């Protein structure tokens, strides 16, 4: 049995709470990165950092983030990619 999906409001609130919990220096260094929530994405993908085309964005996929803690880890994982971290580094920090 799969876990129920978070509602649109619940996942957006989890994203905002995660972003709000970051220190000021992270916000300053992130610049104009846009964080959006989409219902679905590629199978198994929880999020994506997309720096291509001038618009740097983080996409969080609702269908693979089943609880608030998973949303938090996914947002932090994708922010790590923004700062140049690879999968191994993120895994070592517990965000892989």
Q: What is the pLDDT along the chain (96 residues), one digit of tens a residue?
A: 566 789 999 999 999 999 999 999 999 999 889 999 999 999 989 999 998 877 899 999 999 999 999 999 999 999 999 999 999 999 999 887
Q: Which of 82, 74, 72, 88 is nearest to 27 (CA)?
A: 82
Instruction: Look at residue 71 and tell me if it is in a domain.
Output: yes
Per the domain annotation, does 49 fall within a domain? yes
- Domain CATH for 47: 3.30.2010.20
2 within domain boundaries: no
Residue 21 belongs to domain spanning: 8-92
List Cβ neighbours of 93 (8 Å cut-off, separation of 6 or more): 80, 85
Q: How many CA atoms lie within 13 A of 76 on its CB side?
A: 20
Whole-model pTM? 0.91
Q: In total, how many domains does the chain have?
A: 1
Does some domain include residue 20?
A: yes
């Amino acid at each position: 049995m799969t876990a129920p999906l978070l509602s649109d409001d619940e996942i957006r609130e989890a994203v905002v709470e995660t972003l709000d919990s970051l220190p000021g220096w992270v916000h300053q260094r992130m610049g104009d990165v846009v964080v959006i929530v989409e219902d679905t994405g590629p199978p198994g993908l929880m999020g994506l950092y997309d720096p291509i085309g001038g618009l740097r964005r983080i996409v969080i996929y609702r269908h693979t983030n089943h609880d608030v803690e998973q949303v938090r880890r996914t947002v932090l994982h994708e922010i790590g990619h923004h700062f140049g971290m690879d999968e191994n580094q993120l895994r070592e920090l517990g965000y892989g």
